[in-house]
Chains A and B, each alone.
Chain A
Amino acid sequence: SYVLTQPPSVSVAPGQTARITCGGDNIGEKSVQWYQQKPGQAPVLVVYDDSDRPSGIPERISGSTSGNTATLAITWVESGDEADYFCQVWDSASGHYVFGSGTKVTVL
């Protein structure tokens, strides 16, 4: 089955850029979504179709894909960005949605 690989954690200083990677075989050929989840809350969609943002999501959050890696970037990081971030794709070969294991972003 299709596997998405994320680093368990990323630490970043306020005002810097956090980059969260999501690795998968030829992920560049799939539509990648990213979700932000804060403790005790439901996930929130922050990026869809690789790089589009839902309304209300700041431009500081952006997505990109290339080859076997998708990346979520958060510029000008602030304390409110501390959360778990999950990537997600639809795997047509197995016929189901696949989520990455999640990356915890810590603001130093």
Chain B
Amino acid sequence: QVQLRESGPGLVKPSQTLSLTCTVSGGSISSGGYYWSWIRQHPGKGLEWIGYIYSTGNTYYNPSLKSRIIVSVDTSKNQFFLRLTSVTAADTAVYYCARRGVDSPHFAYWGQGTLVTVSS
């Protein structure tokens, strides 16, 4: 059973860069067949897809966030990463990492989520 776990600072100052890590266990990112994704949920709100990465490093981003996002992967550590630049209070949210299959547009596995607050 694949498991995902997010980690990173819970507090980021405005204008700085939010950096999160998703550690995958029970399955290898390098084996292919899956897109590794980031999704966020503003407090009390719905879900917003941020972007995903394939094991080869190919990425696909939400057009509304594309200018501020970098998603990367380290297959040797079985981890993938999110960097979101120039954050504001509007980026305060619970950030989830998740996995979807290449041939199936659904997110079958999710991390437990990590709350990131943007505040000075």
In this complex, the member of A48, A96, A99 whose beta carbon has the largest number of chain B beta carbons within 10 angstroms is A96
Number of residues of chain A lying within 8 A (CB) of chain B? 24
| Number of interface residues, chain B, beta carbon within 8 A | 19
Given A45-B107, A48-B104, A48-B106, residue A86 in contact with residue B63 (CB < 8 A): no
| A13-43 interface bits toward B, Cβ cutoff 8 Å, 1 = contact, 0 = none | 0000000000000000001010100000111
- Assess whether A42 is in contact with B113, with CB atoms less than 8 Å apart: yes
Which B residues are closer than 8 A to A by beta carbons? 45-49, 60, 62-64, 96, 104-108, 110-113
Assess A102 versus B46: contact at CB under 8 Å? Given A42-B111, A94-B63: yes
- Give chain A residues whose Cβ lies under 8 Å from the Cβ of B113: 42
Contact residues, A39-79 vs B (CB, 8 A):
41-45, 48-49, 54
Residues B48 and A99 in contact, CB atoms below 8 Å apart: yes
Does the CB pair A43–B105 fall under 8 Å? no
Q: Is the CB of A42 within 8 A of B96?
A: yes
